[in-house]
Every structure is written in C-alpha cells, then in structure tokens.
Amino acid sequence: MALLEILHYPEPLLKKTSVPVTVFDDELRQLAKDMADTMYDAPGVGLAAPQVGVLKRFIVMDCSTGEEPDDLIFAVNPEIVAREGDAVEEEGCLSVPGFFANINRAAQVRMRYQDLAGNTLERDADGLLAICIQHEIDHLDGVLFVDRLSPLKRSMFRKKYLKMLKEREQADAT
Ligand code: NI
C-alpha cells in the first residue's frame, strides 16, 4: 500500500487545470490504487489526482468510506452532462483541513466518464454522491470548494485559514 502526499491550500498546483487521460495503462491503475489507499487512510469520501500533485483528469470516490465495495468509483475524464435541482450541504476537503462550509450545488447529476479500461459509462447520482462528483470534478478545473463561497465569506476563510497555518508553523518550529 502506497500512501501519497495530499497537497494543501494554498499550494499553487491546486489552482491548475488538469489534462485529459489518454493512456489507460498500468501507471493509471497504480495511481488509482494508491489514490484509493490514500483516500481511505485520510479518511475521505473523494480524492482528485491534482490533490496528490498529478494534473490528470482522474478522480476516486467512495461515499460509503469503504463499507460497500461496490461504492468505490474510479472516474477517468469525468464530466457532468446533466444537472437538476438545488442542494446545500456542508463540505470539507482533504486539501483544506479543518475547514467546513455550506456550498450550493445541483441536487442530482449525470456523470459521463471512462473506467480504468477506457470504456465510457454514465451514472446518475443524488445525495452525497452527487455533491462529491461536483466537488471532485471542480478540483480538475482548479476550483476548491472555498472558491464557491461568497466574496465576503471567502476572504474571512482566507484570513482564518492562513492564521491557522501560521500558528501551526510556529508550533512546529518550537
Ligand atoms: Ni476536495
């Protein structure tokens, strides 16, 4: 089991747009396995490749946090092809540890993606999985959930978060 390092805000790589996956090889399968291990270890319900420093359009999700083997989803080149309704849920992110906020999303989505063999699939989702799909695909476009806050809440977040980082650094230095 290989655990990957999860990058934290304000790491600049998290703001980059990832490129499509074109090769479905052992390297991709290894990345998938390592990202799943890293997600379960964190623990989290989703992880996008740029969060481990790989700028490829690839995400891993498991809203059951390992309870249901069928809930583990590897989605290559995922895109949302339909969305419906509104939902507001409290979100967090492994790249923004210790911070949670309510974010507006679509309540239901249809995701088109490829599996690890390159087959194109579609999946309808609601509830937590729908939120997770939107959150993880955002990562592939360099968007963090805190970027979806209102400008005022976002600047409050930034202040609070950077202060927390500074305090942590000072604690580490002593
Ligand atoms: Ni995230």
Tokens of 20: 């499509």
Cα of 93 from ligand 1 centre, angstroms: 4
Question: How many Cβ atoms from other residues are within 10 Å of residue 93's Cβ?
Answer: 25
What does the pLDDT read at residue 86?
Answer: 98
What lies within 8 Å, CB to CB, of 74 at 6+ separation is 32, 36, 58, 59, 60, 115, 116
Q: What is the pLDDT of residues 95-152, one digit of tens each?
A: 999 999 999 999 999 999 999 999 999 999 999 999 999 999 999 999 999 999 999 9
> May I ask the CATH class of domain 12-149?
alpha beta
Cα of 16 from ligand 1 centre, angstroms: 14
Domain residue limits, the chain: 12-149
Q: What is the pLDDT of residues 145-172, one digit of tens each?
A: 999 999 999 999 999 999 998 998 898 8
Cα of 174 from ligand 1 centre, angstroms: 30
Confirm whether 136 is a catalytic residue. yes
Of 67, 90, 122, 136, which residue is the catalytic one?
136
Model pTM above 0.85: yes
